Amino acid sequence: MAEYTTLRAGGKAEALIDVRTIAELSTLVKWLTAQGIVSRVLGQGSNILVPEQGYPGVLIRLRGEIQSLSCRPTKDDGTVVVRAGAGCAMSSVVSWCTRNGLSGLEFLVGIPGSVGGAVWMNAGAWGHETGERLEQIVMVDRGGSLVHVPAKRLLFSYRQLAWQDGDLDGMTIVSADFVVCPGGEQSIRERCRGYLERRKAKQPKGVASAGSFFKNPPGDSAGRLIDAAGLKGFTIGGAMVSPVHANFIVNTGGATAVEIIGLMEVVQEKVYQRFGVRLEPEVQILQG
């Protein structure tokens, strides 16, 4: 999976299947469920690591009509609903909104990944999270049926999505409706530029990573703890704790998943020994 993930590392999946319509996706998911084959969606692979021993199932990529973007007319309260296919790049949604003078998703600028990935991970930055802008999502369940879920039935927490009415395991998000507001195009562009500049100043450049590797523990920052444990620049093979931002594990070239997971465990152990805090990875390590 090195070719398909931003960490540029990882073992093999049994299969990688592209679907181009919701009907194709439903048929595939239903069949996989009947066969007892595990599956998962691969978005843009910016928060995923497949261990060296591989993922014993199917990774599904959402293409074609599941990458579309449309806009519903302005509602009475002046807001606009943008429906984005889960396979669409979140950056395309942000640029589209900017070009059309629609404000609300600027905080997501510079976060790589798909719409489905942003919703699943409740991606966020600068004090905002994806969940706060959602009106509803549409999913395909394990039996291949479409399920419409209003945002009020979803539970959004730090980098996590849950559903009040069931288990999300095996569910595939196919689209998300975002509520945005008309705003001046120029001020939206300026906000985006500001966020991008702050991002550039804080994050390592030109190296493969999955962004922040660990979740921040309550009331603290994973980067601060890793830095204070003296781990900036610590290396196992091609995997390194970034000297620029301690919560980034970077692939300096040719790192294997074994090296990245090995480094993750060293960081967890050292931070635990020093501060009694067990860091949890934000990166999804696909175990099957």
Torsion-angle region of 182 (φ positive above 0: left; ψ -120 to 50: alpha; else: beta): beta
Site string for ligand FAD, 139-168 (x = CB under 6 A): --------------------x---------
C-beta closer to ligand FAD: residue 210 or 271: 210
Placement of tokens 């629609």 in the chain:
102
169 close to 76: Cβ distance less than 8 angstroms:
no
Cβ within 8 Å of residue 186, ≥6 positions away: none
Dihedrals phi, psi of 85, to nearest 5 degrees: -65, 145
Element (H, E) at 125: strand 124-125
Residue 40 binds to ligand FAD (criterion: CB under 6 A)? yes
- Per the annotation, the verdict on 212 as an active-site residue is yes
* Catalytic residue chosen out of the listed positions 26, 39, 46, 212: 212
What part of residues 219-278 is at the interface with ligand FAD (CB under 6 A)? none
- Per the annotation, the verdict on 209 as an active-site residue is no
User: Of the candidates 104, 211, 223, 281, which one interacts with ligand FAD according to CB under 6 A?
Assistant: 211
| Residue 36 CB burial class (10 angstroms; 0-12, 13-18, ≥19) | exposed
Q: Rounded to the nearest whole angstrom, what is the least distance from the CB of residue 207 to ligand FAD in the complex? A: 9
Question: Taking every pair of C-alpha atoms in the chain, what is the biggest distance, in angstroms?
Answer: 58
* Catalytic residue chosen out of the listed positions 40, 61, 83, 159: 159
Q: Rounded to the nearest whole angstrom, what is the least distance from the CB of residue 148 to ligand FAD in the complex? A: 15
User: Of the candidates 26, 39, 46, 242, which one interacts with ligand FAD according to CB under 6 A?
Assistant: 46
CA dihedral 32, 38, 42, 46 (to 10 degrees): 180
Six token digits for residue 116 = 């489905």
Site string for ligand FAD, 49-78 (x = CB under 6 A): -------------x----------------
- List of residues contacting ligand FAD (CB under 6 A): 6, 40-48, 62, 86, 111-114, 116-118, 120-121, 123-125, 159, 172-173, 209-211, 284
Task: Kindly list the catalytic residues.
Answer: 159, 212, 282
